[in-house]
Amino acid sequence: MPNHEIYMQRAIELAELGKGSVSPNPMVGAVVVHNEKIIGEGWHAKYGEPHAEPRAILDVLNSFSNGEELLRQSTLYVTLEPCSHHGKTPPCADLIVKYQIPKVVIACRDPFEKVDGQGIAKLKGAGIEVIEGILAQEAAFMNRRFLTRVKQHRPYIILKWAQTANGYFAPKDQAQQWISGMAAKMLSHRWRSEEDAVLVGTNTARIDNPQLNVRDWKGRNPKRIVIDKNLSLSQELHLFDRQAETIVFNAKKTEWNNSLKYIALENFDLYLPQNILFQLHLMDIQSLIIEGGVKTLQLFIDAGLWDEARVFKAPIYWENGIKAPELKNIPQKEEQIGKDILTTYFNN
């Protein structure tokens, strides 16, 4: 009996290589197995480019002179149901049928309305054996950003902040004061490279003057988002340096000027988090890190609009200050990052 979990785990590892490059598509990995040996691998590497399945099939064809014959005797493992519609690339299900791969093992179905079972139906209709549900939870967790966008029609939201060992977030006078260490800073920049956008509020933009880029990590910069109701922020701030796309949610004007986009929200103070997320969903932003101050973080916490929280706790103590947000959720993970402790929470 083949060990489906081993091959699917490899497909998940391959899928992860697309993190930060495939949004708003899902991350997908695929392996081709012949006589208990992997003979082809592929993953979706960049939005608009070939999907995992054709890359894995091409890997077989390029590696073996009798590749087509081997495919007719192989099993394809894929982390997500093969697509059945024409998008930026042809349907993967059609390619699988073309090369007569006799068995396809899938981790989980694609809930996107143009796929959702239709890829599987096309495979079965061609006489291909389909096995579903292998490492489904692991594959769904990996694609939690995509699944949140499709099912909840909003970006996947990650809250991130640092606090002292006794729970303080910032000095009482709101002056800028760094809490976590360099290792935490580098990790934060890596996270930015993996997500679509990062958001701050007016006070954080004014006091910290953040660049919100990945200068301490190799990768692409996220979109920058700031909440500035009355457009009071100085244009001299780093956020307005045109080095990355910047979106300003406000109550005054809607105006798009190349990489700088102003979006006015009606009834600004009414359902603000919901309205922001709706606009971002329309802009195909699949994931969002919120790095704002306590007010901004609490706004989304109170609305229940967050999926994951990453909290750095530094080994320092302050006598007073502004208290950090408190989550009632049970911590899911703790790890040492330099001198700091990183605690991860999930809102489920």
Q: Specify the CATH number for the domain of residue 43.
A: 3.40.140.10
- Decide if 194 is catalytic: no
Q: Report d(CA 318, CA 105) in Å as an integer.
A: 54
Q: Are residues 200 and 326 in the same domain?
A: yes
Determine whether the annotation assigns residue 212 to a binding site.
Answer: yes
Summarised one tens digit per residue, pLDDT across range 153-172 is 999 999 999 999 999 998 88
Domain boundary among 95, 116, 148: 148
Looking at residue 88, its pLDDT comes to 65
Catalytic, out of 53, 194, 195, 308 = 53
Q: What is the pLDDT of residue 87?
A: 66
Residue range 229-248, pLDDT digits in tens: 999 999 999 999 999 999 99
Number of structural domains found in the chain: 2
Q: Can you give the CATH number for the domain in which 254 is found? A: 3.40.430.10
The reply to whether 139 and 159 lie within a common domain is: no
Domain that holds residue 81: 4-148
The reply, when asked if residue 92 is annotated as ligand binding, is yes
Amino acid in position 268 = F
- Check whether 51 is labelled as a binding-site residue: yes
Note the pLDDT tens digit of each residue in 257-302: 889 999 999 999 999 999 999 999 999 999 999 998 999 999 999 9
- Per the structure block, which two tokens stand in for 143? 């694609």
Closest CA to 54 of 27, 87, 78: 78
CA distance linking residue 342 with residue 344, whole number of Å? 7
On whether 189 is known to bind a ligand per the annotation, the reply is no
For residues 299-323, average pLDDT:
95
Any known ligand binding at 192? yes
Q: Please write the tens of the pLDDT for every residue from 15-64.
A: 999 999 999 999 999 999 999 999 999 999 999 899 999 999 999 999 99
> Where a domain ends, among 115, 148, 181?
148
Contact, 250 vs 229, CB < 8 A? Answer: yes
